[in-house]
Amino acid sequence: MNNRRSIALVAGQILKKAGHPLHYTEITKRLLPQFRLVGMTPHQTVRSRLATDARFKRVAEGVYALAEWREYPATRFAKDIAYDVLKSEQKPVTLSELGGAILRVRNLVGGPNLVARNGVRSDNRF
């Protein structure tokens, strides 16, 4: 019973038992006694399951909570903030302006230009 659904199910049970959000590496550590995850990076497998399952939400870098936990707001990705800013502006903005807008919403490492560049780099909406 080592499939996508069962990993998410057990991860949900782990979070419920903990009663608070956990980093995906900690969830993996607690999950490994129940699953034989093959490959060199089992923590990345768990992370991808958490990131793509609606039962979970990312509340900080690498930290996941159950979606039903209202006291932990989901964190927004820089690319989503950038998309919203560009959509609302309806005009071209500089990297610095875009990065500044992203940084006002979310505390990220780096200056405005770097944050904006990384925010739009891998997003095919731009």
pLDDT the model gives residue 27 = 96
Same domain, 58 and 82: no
Q: What is the pLDDT of residues 60-102, one digit of tens each?
A: 878 999 999 999 888 888 888 898 999 998 889 999 999 999 9
* Sequence-ordered list of residues with C-beta below 8 angstroms from that of 111, at least 6 positions apart, any chain: 99
Domain that holds residue 58: 4-66
Q: What is the pTM of this model?
A: 0.67
Residues 22 and 44 in one domain: yes
Residue 85 and residue 58 share a domain = no
Flag whether 72 is in a domain: no
Q: What is the CATH classification number for the domain harbouring 39? A: 1.10.10
Asked if residue 73 is part of any domain, the answer here is no
53: Cα within 13 Å, side-chain hemisphere: 22
